Amino acid sequence: MPEISPDKYLDLFRDMWRVRKFETALEREFKRGKVPGMLHVGLGQEAILASVAHSLRKEDGIFPDHRCHGLLFLKGTPGKKIMAELFGRSTGICHGKGGSLHSADVTVNNFGDNGIQGSYMVTALGVALGWKMQGKDSVSAVVVGDGTSGEGEWHESLNLASVWKAPVLFVCVNNGYAISTPVGFSHAAENLVDFAKGYKIPAVQVDGNDLLAAYQATQEAVAHIRAGKGPYFVEYK
């Protein structure tokens, strides 16, 4: 992996800062009762979101989870439109009807999240398979949490991605808890990369708070996928 230039470090740090400021303001207004519906912020995931955003192209697809507001604007959607959406305003990206969980923007290939945990892992396969059939080197990146590993869609998607050699980047953000349940209480595998390896998918585990480690792991994963070698799984702890 080539060294990261000082300018790239600054760009990554700047985007981490943007995510932190956005989420901090959003959380503050939610506590004031100004943000309708439920809200899950991505505080603490800034290095991961910046690493993913800086490793993808505009034509690549993202399937964000419920803590990915930062990834939405890092991918190219104006932050004001995302914030307006979260406040239920008609000027929002989905005219205020999507909120935190259902915001999508096809102009930057953001295919959106939904309230059914893990279901978008399946949708990401369809997009990836379509691009593969068209001979494109685009990547379908899907962000999931550790709690999703308890869903059937998790295993079905890993299996089919491996069988089809689909160009999917599995971004697993493992913060240790599925709401209030520790990972070790609900899964036989303490390290979630072991699930991916069981489906013969290249998988690595990195410190999600280490910007250098997160960025380099994501870069290597995307390079693997663009080379036509199939899916890749990164667990950011």
**Taking a C-beta distance cutoff of 8 angstroms, is the pair 196, 233 a contact?**
yes
- Chain segment 177-235, per-residue pLDDT in tens: 777 777 777 777 778 999 999 999 999 999 999 999 999 999 999 999 999 999 999 99
The verdict on pTM exceeding 0.85 is yes
CA dihedral in degrees (107, 109, 110, 116; nearest 10)? 130
Q: Which residue is it, tokens 């399937």?
A: 63
Nearest partner of 109 among 61, 63, 77, 65, judged by Cα: 61
Partners of 177 in beta bridges: 182
- Chain segment 93-121, per-residue pLDDT in tens: 999 998 888 889 999 999 988 878 788 99
Nearest partner of 138 among 62, 54, 77, judged by Cα: 62
Nearest partner of 15 among 108, 79, 105, judged by Cα: 79
Quote the CA–CA distance of 90 and 44 in Å, as a whole number: 30
- Rg (C-alpha) for the chain, rounded Å, is 17
- Chain segment 163-181, per-residue pLDDT in tens: 999 999 999 999 877 777 7
- Chain segment 38-56, per-residue pLDDT in tens: 888 999 999 999 999 999 9
CA dihedral in degrees (180, 184, 187, 190; nearest 10)? 130
**Taking a C-beta distance cutoff of 8 angstroms, is the pair 44, 209 a contact?**
yes
